[in-house]
Structure 1
Amino acid sequence: MNEPLSISKSIYRYNQDQFVETKDDIVIEFPLTVYINDEEFATMVCSPRNLDEMVIGFLASEGVIRFKKEIKDMKIDADRGFAYVELHSKEIKNQQYFSKRFIGSCCGKSRQFYFQNDVRTAKTSMVKTTITSQQCIDLMKKMQEDSLVFKNTGGVHNAALCTPEDLIVSRSDIGRHNALDKLYGHSLLNGISVKDKILVFSGRISSEILTKAAKIGVGVVLSKSAPTDLAIKLAEDLNITAVGFIRGGSFNIYSHPERIILDKKERYL
């Protein structure tokens, strides 16, 4: 799936007391409505690529499915903006926990534990994965270098699923949650175990993002931006190592520092 994620548009740029006509790359915003067993479930605003991964990851993070095999059939009508999912079960799991809602592409009100399915699907990490301080910096650099869409537009969030040594898969999307759902969906579609993997993320670690990471099942979250206080509390409770402000050669560890190893001394902090 190589659908374009941006378009070129003529604009006027103001620079040094004059207007100059030029071209600019603009990210594409795409609405996708998901139907489950012929009933409307949710509408997401996203980037129009890897939609199958996003839908499967979204359903898994919402607790509708746990495994790919629970889906009997899935069809995506990209031209009209619809995804049709048929489950083997005729009833959606824990349907009483859900309500029809609009899921936007930008930062909104935190959903952390406002819905009971978040409590059910957010996992306490039991992994013992460790990563060196230099590997934290290297993974962030690799993810940023890998995102040509962000370099061209500045309008997407980036996320990557990694080993301590390298990126496994990276995804970009105008929606923070969508980028993570695409990673989750990719792992489910390809049978990739995520428990020993590391999540690298370009945006702020909010309680929503931390909850999403817990639903995916990773034990380490690396970000180039800041965390919120609630995200740190959740990371402490869910045994997740949260690292923020990875910029240049420095970063901050906000929870469970035992997974971050110093390169030279090779000992736990």
Structure 2
Amino acid sequence: MSEDRPERADQTGKPPAADTAGAGATGAPLLELANASKYYGSVIALKDVSTSVRAGEVTCVLGDNGAGKSTLIKLLSGVVRPDEGEVLLDGRPAGFANPRAALDAGVATVHQDLAMIPLMAVWRNFFLGSEPTKGWGPLRRFDVAAARRITREQLAAMGIDIRDPDQPVGTLSGGERQSVAIARAVYFGARVLILDEPTSALGVKQAGTVLRYIARARDQGLGVVFITHNPHHAYPVGDRFLLLKRGRSLGDFAKSEITLPEVTRLMAGGSELDDLAHELERA
């Protein structure tokens, strides 16, 4: 492990303890987007978008393709910075220089491709880039036994039943791979977990498995950002809903302020959908 890269685990494989005091304990937002805008030349990717993520809650970001969901992920995870507005962490400007800085601050992003190597074992992927070591100096080496043990323990703690941690991760179902990625982020001290369309390519049963693990991460006190275009996946686990359309916010609602039919109607275009339905009616 290089000396200029922050270690994510000590020699026993145990990550630094997450700081759970402060924002999450008082109910204040862990992570906020405040009137954020992002432009690419003349293209408006996001315009005046605000939302918040609290400990023990799921903030769902919904919108069709081109709504600005990917840009929002990039702002929250430190890939790009807003041209207007700001990203706040614990009420202070975050100023993430890059995704590593965001990760070190406890903001972990699970992308659709999951950043896993299919032919490597589950336990090897669990610690990819953050391997526990034993020994000192030139005798320092990867602690394989600890990696296997910790992987099995952490997956079990999340309620994930992997048949064999030595099996290649590519042999797992899509839902199982997503659950491993979630458990990995939780273990390495994430306070905010950003999930990029985790159910988009999954069947009904596998999507249900992922939603169950999202709820478990929420119940462990994490703030979760669930990016999706499917309101039927978002509404059961969501506590707050940000709806985007063409880079602009259609509203940021608590669950008590909006129903599933209303979420679906706003995403479908509201009056535009009514006009289409009228047009398609048989004479």
TM-score (norm 2): 0.28
- Give the greater-gyration-radius structure (CA): 2
Structure number with the higher strand fraction is: 1
More relative contact order in 1 or in 2 (CA 8 Å, sep 6+)? Answer: 2
